[in-house]
Structure 1
């Protein structure tokens, strides 16, 4: 299983827009990306500008398709100007459970 974790910081006052756009990505992935096994979004309760995603894919090709797809590109088109700095991305291969 391939994974991607993204750490995303919204500019102050843009938390609601960034949250809404991330949720759109999740809805799209669930409905249209069979290779996306899970797309989880979390928002820090103490710092509502801070979001993390945890994304699971059947393989690297599915991860690449998601990252280059309409939903991900749409997120950056809609929220890109509202982000505070670069998105930190960590990709990995799950080692447990096997």
Structure 2
């Protein structure tokens, strides 16, 4: 019985440590740093960084120039605040992909 309790405790701890909202989101990446770095997809705008704050793992963001770029960002999100809390990767896409996607609001 004690072994089952220990296994359950480990499983619970792993469950808590595993991000609940890890996902890949694609759309328009807007880089107006130092004020804002956001991604706009079919679900709205997602903050990646602001002048006061940036998501953990921000260095994993794909390199962008100032302005708007089409791309994907992978990481953990907080749906209540529409923020990426941790970035695990990303990639840039040709702008024609975002231009062709009618679900993206730009």
TM-score, normalised to structure 2, is 0.31
Q: Which structure features the higher share of helix residues?
A: 1
TM-score, normalised to structure 1, is 0.32
Structure with the greater alpha carbon radius of gyration: 2
